[in-house]
Amino acid sequence: MRTEHSWTEVGRGLVDLRALLAFRSAGLNRRSRRRLRIAGGTVLLLTVAAIVVPAYLRAPLHSRDAGKFVAILPTLYLGFLVLAVLAAIASGGGREVVPREQAVAFPVSSVTEHFGALLLAPLNIAWLLQAWTIIALTTYVVGPTALVAAAVPLLAWIGFATALGQALGWVFEGIRRGPHGILVARLIAATAIGAVVVVVLADQLVPLLDRSPTVQVYLAAAYPSGHQWTAWAQVVAVLLAMLVGATLLGLLPARWALHRPLREELRLESGHIEPRPNPRSDLRAMVRIDRASIWRAVPLRRGLIVLAFMPGLVALAGRLEWDMVTILPGLVASGGALLFGVNTWCLDGRGALWRDSLPVSAGIAYYAKVIVLFEVLLAAAGFTIMLAALRAGTPTAAELCSALAAAVVVASQVVATSMRWSVERPYAMDMRSARATPAPPVVMAGYSARLALRTTVVGLLFSATALADSWTIPALVAVPLLSWSAVRLVRTAAQWAVPEVRARVVSVVAT
């Protein structure tokens, strides 16, 4: 392929991306568009605030406190890169601008898919919080001098990390789609995890982080305050070149991956599954259906594995104390709900029509969803706590009870919230695709922000009860929170029992 043809294809891909975004926005009503504009403006204002406010908060008396952050800033920059890579790998290279089934009549090129994935990557509360954190801490350290110039290398690094993460995500997706790709991908993941564990156990993690090349990013942000504009311009030029290079480089693995057959998805859809003995009750039958729909969905299996391992490995590497371990269950629960819980009936797809015709009560179908979602969240949170406990030391009774209570409480709250959203705002999403999400990207960003806020507050509450003298205090705190979640679940169950509500949900998710 000649160079001019390649550039023409890139230009057409950008034009197609604009058309796809217009197609998606055309399906929004006036209220949704207003919310979208408000959300976009809020994100922009918070980004500006993250740049400006911390720089003016630092007073001369706090200069020593600002110096403490200098040592950890390069590690935070590197952590953002790791987060971008893991998010892209877990989502199969990125998010879909348009679901696969809706784009059958309008084939989308790999160029459009790649640029769309890059555009949608920031629609994630974890991405936004990490970006705001590194920007705010850096401007707090460097001070109010030349803030715009100080923010330029940070924004360039954030863009480069996102673009590189997407490129590596496409590479990993291409490996998965190859012969024996699932085995190869799992071997690569196991090797990477094993290497991290060896480095942590050998106490070599800190020395490696001290030699991180991301130190240059911090120096570039600090150069404007010292009027070192030549050095600043050199680093910024390198970062911008890396950003453009990573963006264009991602086009190659994107085409390679998207032109390979969907081996994992096709294997699950065409495989032979031996029938199991009939369950003893209708509830068990419905629970079995829901469990199977989760484990046979490719994005859910990948997401649950990453969700179970990564927070625990971070806690293991950071040697978190028990009063901080209580924060982890909230992160895991909110992440697990975003995999499918916020639109739980979308897992049924067209099968929702068949399932709704089964001779079982509406309450059984509802509570089967509740049980499966609750057990998935508890299992992931429990595994994370077990990994964190390996280096957290022997807990007191209050600490152990606080961690367990936090896991149960946040799981119940997330389940109650997710079921209400699933009933009130269903979406038709194809969860067979490895890059699928249970709701449109903009909606997912709002869901993730609200869940993260609620679970973090609960985690901080039980972090305080971990310092108590008795285990009864966290238990007493958990009782009213669990009771309120139960009340919300019962209210949503009553709403689901209305035939018109069920018909609306089924008609949406089955179309």
Per-residue pLDDT reduced to its tens digit, 253-263: 988 988 888 77
Residue 73 confidence (pLDDT) = 83
Q: Kindly indicate the confidence band of residue 2, based on its pLDDT and cuts at 50, 70 and 90.
A: very low
Residue 184, pLDDT > 90, answer: no
Between residues 500 and 510, the one the model is more confident about: 500
Please return the burial class of 4, using the count of CB atoms within 10 Å of its CB with bins 0-12, 13-18 and 19+.
exposed
Is 204 within the bounds of a domain?
Answer: yes
Q: How many CB atoms lie within 10 A of CB 245?
A: 14
Same domain? For 235 and 356 the reply is no
CA–CA distance, 322 with 395 (Å, rounded to integer):
7
Residue 390, pLDDT > 70, answer: yes
Same domain? For 227 and 336 the reply is no
Q: Kindly indicate the confidence band of residue 310, based on its pLDDT and cuts at 50, 70 and 90.
A: confident
Residue 3, pLDDT > 60, answer: no
Instruction: Report residue 476 as tokens.
Output: 């007493």
One-letter amino acid of 372: V
Please tell me which of 16-30, 374-388, 457-471, 475-489 the model is most confident about, judged by mean pLDDT: 475-489
Residue 60, pLDDT > 70, answer: no
Residue 134 confidence (pLDDT) = 87
Residue 318 confidence (pLDDT) = 60
Is 7 within the bounds of a domain?
Answer: no
Residue 160 confidence (pLDDT) = 94
CA–CA distance, 196 with 207 (Å, rounded to integer):
13
- Domain hosting 338: range is 282-511
Same domain? For 377 and 246 the reply is no
Q: What are phi and psi of 200, to 5 degrees?
A: -65, -45
Residue 500 confidence (pLDDT) = 92
Residue 109 confidence (pLDDT) = 83
Same domain? For 226 and 345 the reply is no
Q: Kindly indicate the confidence band of residue 126, based on its pLDDT and cuts at 50, 70 and 90.
A: confident
Residue 176, pLDDT > 70, answer: yes
Of the three residues 215, 238, 271, the one that is the final residue of a domain is 271
* Residues 289-314, mean pLDDT to the nearest whole number: 76
Residue 412 confidence (pLDDT) = 93
**Nearest by Cα to 202 from 338, 317, 333:** 317
Q: Kindly indicate the confidence band of residue 399, based on its pLDDT and cuts at 50, 70 and 90.
A: confident
Same domain? For 213 and 74 the reply is yes
* Residues 142-149, mean pLDDT to the nearest whole number: 83
Task: Yes or no: say if 374 and 415 are a contact pair by the CB < 8 Å rule.
Answer: yes
Please tell me which of 20-24, 230-234, 278-282 the model is most confident about, judged by mean pLDDT: 230-234
Q: What is the DSSP string of 385-421?
A: HHHHHHHH-PPPHHHHHHHHHHHHHHHHHHHHHHHHH
Q: Kindly indicate the confidence band of residue 1, based on its pLDDT and cuts at 50, 70 and 90.
A: very low
Residue 100, pLDDT > 80, answer: no
Instruction: Report residue 22 as tokens.
Output: 């217009």
Query: 42-46, 151-155, 207-211: which has the minimum mean pLDDT?
Result: 207-211
Show the DSSP H helices in 259-396 as ranges. 263-270, 282-295, 298-318, 322-325, 328-339, 351-356, 362-392
Is 347 within the bounds of a domain?
Answer: yes
Q: Kindly indicate the confidence band of residue 218, based on its pLDDT and cuts at 50, 70 and 90.
A: confident
Instruction: Report residue 81 as tokens.
Output: 């890169």
Cα four-point dihedral sign 200, 206, 212, 214: positive
3-state helix, strand, coil in the chain (%, to 5): 80, 0, 20
Structure-token match 């669990």, residue found: 482
Of the three residues 271, 293, 323, the one that is the final residue of a domain is 271
- CA distance to 45, 278, 461, 468, 505, per residue, from 474 (Å): 38, 41, 9, 8, 38
Same domain? For 137 and 207 the reply is yes
Of the three residues 227, 248, 271, the one that is the final residue of a domain is 271
Is 84 within the bounds of a domain?
Answer: yes
Kindly report the three-state secondary structure assignment for every residue of 181-234: HHHHHHHHHHHHHHHHHHHHHCCCHHHHHHCCCCHHHHHHHHHHHHCCHHHHHH
Is 163 within the bounds of a domain?
Answer: yes
Same domain? For 260 and 307 the reply is no
Query: 11-15, 61-65, 78-82, 114-118: which has the minimum mean pLDDT?
Result: 61-65
Cα four-point dihedral sign 169, 170, 171, 177: positive
Same domain? For 303 and 432 the reply is yes
Same domain? For 262 and 309 the reply is no
* Residues 191-210, mean pLDDT to the nearest whole number: 74
Please tell me which of 400-404, 461-465, 493-497 the model is most confident about, judged by mean pLDDT: 493-497
Please tell me which of 182-186, 209-213, 415-419 the model is most confident about, judged by mean pLDDT: 415-419
Instruction: Report residue 346 as tokens.
Output: 């979308």
Same domain? For 70 and 129 the reply is yes
CA–CA distance, 73 with 184 (Å, rounded to integer):
34
Same domain? For 317 and 350 the reply is yes
CA–CA distance, 299 with 287 (Å, rounded to integer):
20
Q: What are the pLDDT digits (tens) for 352-362?
A: 888 888 888 88
Q: What is the dihedral of CA 369, 374, 377, 383, to 10 degrees?
A: -130
**Nearest by Cα to 136 from 201, 48, 222:** 48
CA–CA distance, 370 with 411 (Å, rounded to integer):
11
Q: What are phi and psi of 425, to 5 degrees?
A: -135, 75
**Nearest by Cα to 84 from 191, 170, 182:** 170
CA–CA distance, 249 with 247 (Å, rounded to integer):
6
Q: Kindly indicate the confidence band of residue 487, based on its pLDDT and cuts at 50, 70 and 90.
A: very high
Is 8 within the bounds of a domain?
Answer: no
Same domain? For 314 and 257 the reply is no
Residue 269, pLDDT > 50, answer: yes
Residue 67 confidence (pLDDT) = 62
Residue 271 confidence (pLDDT) = 65
Q: Kindly indicate the confidence band of residue 486, based on its pLDDT and cuts at 50, 70 and 90.
A: very high
**Nearest by Cα to 387 from 307, 463, 454:** 307
Residue 4 confidence (pLDDT) = 43
Is 378 within the bounds of a domain?
Answer: yes
- Percent of all residues in the chain with a pLDDT value above 70, rounded to a whole number: 89
Number of domain units in the chain? 2
Is 29 within the bounds of a domain?
Answer: no
Q: Kindly indicate the confidence band of residue 297, based on its pLDDT and cuts at 50, 70 and 90.
A: confident
Considering the chain, what is the average pLDDT of its residues?
Answer: 83
Q: How many CB atoms lie within 10 A of CB 274?
A: 4
